Amino acid sequence: MAGVAGKFVKSGLLRVQSNGIIQQSHLSTLRELSAGKKAGLVVVGSLIGGAAGLAYTLDQSVKASGLDLHAPHFPWSHNGIFSSLDHASIRRGYEVYKQVCSACHSMKYLAYRNLIDVSHTEDEAKEEAAAIQVTDGPNEEGLMFQRPGKLSDRFPSPYTNEEAARNANNGALPPDLTYITAARHGGEDYLFSLLTGYTDPPGGITLRDGLYYNPYFPGGAIGMAQALYNELIEYSDGTPATASQMAKDVAIFLKWAAEPEHDDRKKMALKALMLFSFLISVAYYWKRHKWSVVKTRKIVYKPKSE
């Protein structure tokens, strides 16, 4: 026992006072600093805090400037930390993309096989793929040929190159939509607001030919005309195809395209939380068990009685 106490004394954790009582030394280093150093620390701390505050306010004020409007947060059914995407909605969103958006926008990082067990069965996905024509080759004669699409084929692009895309859209380039919800502030909130937010330009603002007014688009003037109107398409599941319904569905479809791991990630989080909360209780018990010897120990100093 005395040996253990001696070790602690040497390491400076315990200090023997002149009256023979062993006292635990305070481990705080701040108390020993001189007044000048303390003042210095306060100044450095305030400077860092002030700079962070300034950066935050500047960031906020820049965002609030201009005529563009910020998308509100919508109560998506996948908002909860354990909520999956609405897969019926993904399927409808695919129909909207295929029948409306794909006229101008590519989704070249998505293949038909990606749809399997997400929005379509394997047979349905094969059917979707077979409906497109893909240039393949060269064959034995060295010629390129057309064949129906397969599951491994990517979604077809509406234009062969960027120049053709710009030429068909008054110079504006319709971006690839695969990762668009991850590539824009506000994600699916922004998308929904953009698609449903077309209005007449406010008084005093005249737009160039080929530009349309949308307060959610930075700058307000967008090269894409309003794409969604009530009853524009017919959903295969019979859902009334209002403009806002289509905007919601296509936003969820694009959210899935940008984050295909979304559902798995949340399922994994649920499993991890369950497992770790159990492991933490075991670890807590184990720690108490192992430390009980140390925690219940009493160190007594007995001066030699001569």
Minimum Å distance from CB 253 to ligand HEC? Answer: 9
Write out the H or E segment, with its range, that includes residue 196. Answer: helix 187-196
**180 vs 14, 56, 81, 107, CA distance in Å?**
61, 26, 22, 10
- For 242, residues 6+ apart whose C-beta sits below 8 A from its C-beta are 230, 231
CA-based nearest residue to 82, from 273, 260, 251, 276: 273
Counted residue by residue, the chain has a size of: 306
Question: Smallest distance, Å, CB 276 to ligand HEC?
Answer: 38
CB 174 within 8 A of CB 105: yes
Considering beta carbons, is residue 76 or 126 the nearer one to ligand HEC? 76
Q: Phi first, then psi: what are they for 22, rounded to 5°?
A: -85, 125
**Residues that bind ligand HEC in the complex, under the rule CB under 6 A:** 96, 100-101, 103-105, 169, 172, 174-175, 180, 184, 191, 194-195, 217, 222-224, 227-228, 250
CB 225 within 8 A of CB 197: no
**Least Å distance between CB 117 and ligand HEC?**
24
- Helix, strand, coil % over all residues of the chain, rounded to 5: 45, 5, 45
Question: Which of 112/213 has CB closer to ligand HEC?
Answer: 213
> Cβ 175 to ligand HEC, closest distance in Å?
5
Contacts of 181 (CB under 8 A, 6+ apart): 187, 188, 190, 191, 251, 254, 255, 257, 258, 259
- Known binding residue 105? Answer is yes
For ligand HEC, which is the closer residue by CB, 126 or 241?
241
151, 113 Cβ separation under 8 angstroms? yes
* Sign, Cα dihedral of 178, 182, 186, 188: positive
* 125 or 246: CB nearest ligand HEC: 246
Residue 125 or residue 191: which is nearer to ligand HEC going by CB? 191
Min CB(208)–ligand HEC separation in Å: 11
Specify the residue, 96 or 126, whose C-beta has the smaller distance to ligand HEC.
96
Give the dihedral sign, CA 216/157/173/103. Answer: negative
Judge whether 101 is annotated as a binding position: yes
For residue 219, what are its two tokens? 């700058």
Considering the complex, what minimum distance in angstroms separates the CB of residue 115 from ligand HEC?
17
- Would you say 128 or 188 has its CB closer to ligand HEC? 188
Q: How far is the CB of 210 from ligand HEC (least distance, A)?
A: 9
Rounded to whole angstroms, how far apart are CA atoms 197 and 72? 12
Task: Please give the annotated binding residues, written as ranges.
Answer: 101, 104-105, 224
Task: Please give the annotated binding residues for heme c, written as ranges.
Answer: 101, 104-105, 224
